[in-house]
């Protein structure tokens, strides 16, 4: 956050769509704003229920960035509070950096309120953990190259796929054939589980289960080309694993290990630190 000024812009993460996934802080920022900027194409209208009576509301999906920047200029000139609502979390594909730079140049105070990203919302919908013990301990967030914004060198989906861990792939439904080909080229097996989520948490929500091998056919059969997220990886189908942290044989600062369970933990091949001297 910058120093105190007469105007302020708060970038609000609205989550994947459902208005009741707003945080308390996000709702408060909208309620305190003189101007609320939101995108009707990405955020449900119910979030505007938090806006105060008389607040100006601007739909950013209908205007270029220059019109939004004009709002910031007015905020700096007249000491206004602006709530700039972004879908998901502003830190992911939110075009926030260029807006922050402009706000700071204008001397505006800025704040970012984090939001629920669609990848975690989809994991909740299908009730799956993305970081399953002994299966996957990393999550890669990316998108397919070749869209409106070029991908930096080395960030191709096929390169990320070589890790074999969980991937959340955004903004790629319109090129499902290319996506499937790159996932396979990177090393995912055809039977690797995939979750296809269209407009997660919206009334129109559609969640499908398929595999890397059937991904393209599934997407095309349902005519999905935007507002669609893919979760890919073996963790989506894993069962029968157990976290070492909560095993009775594991110890940490607040709990001693059960010695008999400790031996079982070692026998099962789990990594275990030496028992403490008083353990």
Ranges in the chain, pLDDT < 70: 1-5, 240-247, 249-255, 257-258, 261-279
Per-residue pLDDT at 239: 84
Per-residue pLDDT at 4: 47
Per-residue pLDDT at 147: 72
Per-residue pLDDT at 276: 42
Distance CA 198, CA 115 (A): 19
Domain 118-236 in this protein, CATH class: alpha beta
Per-residue pLDDT at 6: 79
DSSP SS3 for 50: helix
Measured at the CA of 132, the angle between CA 131 and CA 136, to 5 degrees, comes to 65
Per-residue pLDDT at 266: 53
Token pair, residue 248, equals 């009775």
Per-residue pLDDT at 146: 79
Digit-coded pLDDT (tens) for 218-243: 999 999 999 999 999 999 999 866 66
The CATH architecture one would assign to domain 8-113 is: 3-Layer(aba) Sandwich (3.40)
Domain ranges of the chain: 8-113, 118-236
Distance CA 71, CA 83 (A): 11
Per-residue pLDDT at 150: 84
Report the candidate in 129, 126, 131, 141 with the shortest Cα–Cα distance to residue 201. Answer: 126
Which residue do the tokens 């950013």 mark?
A: 60
């Amino acid at each position: 956050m910058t120093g105190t000024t007469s105007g302020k812009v708060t970038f609000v993460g609205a989550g994947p769509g459902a208005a009741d996934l707003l945080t308390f802080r996000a709702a408060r920022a909208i309620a305190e704003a003189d101007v609320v900027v939101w995108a009707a194409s990405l955020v449900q209208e119910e979030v505007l229920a938090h806006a105060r009576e008389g607040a100006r509301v601007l739909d950013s999906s209908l205007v270029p960035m220059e019109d939004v920047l004009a709002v910031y200029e007015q905020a700096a000139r007249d000491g206004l509070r602006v709530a700039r609502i972004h879908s998901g979390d502003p830190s992911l594909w939110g075009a926030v950096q260029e807006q922050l730079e402009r706000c700071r140049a204008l001397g505006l105070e800025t704040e970012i309120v984090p939001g629920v990203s669609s990848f975690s919302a989809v994991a909740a919908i299908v009730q799956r953990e993305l970081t399953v013990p002994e299966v996957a301990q990393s999550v890669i967030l990316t998108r397919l190259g070749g869209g409106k914004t070029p991908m930096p060198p080395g960030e191709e989906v096929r390169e990320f796929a070589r890790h074999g861990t969980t991937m959340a792939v955004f903004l790629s439904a319109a090129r499902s054939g290319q996506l499937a080909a790159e996932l396979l080229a990177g090393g995912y097996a055809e039977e690797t589980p995939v979750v296809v989520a269209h407009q997660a948490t919206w009334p129109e929500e559609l969640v499908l289960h398929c595999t890397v091998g059937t991904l393209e056919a599934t997407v095309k059969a349902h005519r999905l080309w935007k507002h669609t997220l893919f979760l890919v990886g073996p963790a989506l189908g894993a069962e029968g694993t157990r976290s070492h942290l909560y095993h009775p044989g594991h110890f940490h600062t607040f709990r001693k290990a059960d010695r008999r369970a400790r031996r079982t933990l070692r026998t099962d091949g789990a990594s275990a630190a030496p028992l403490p001297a008083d353990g």
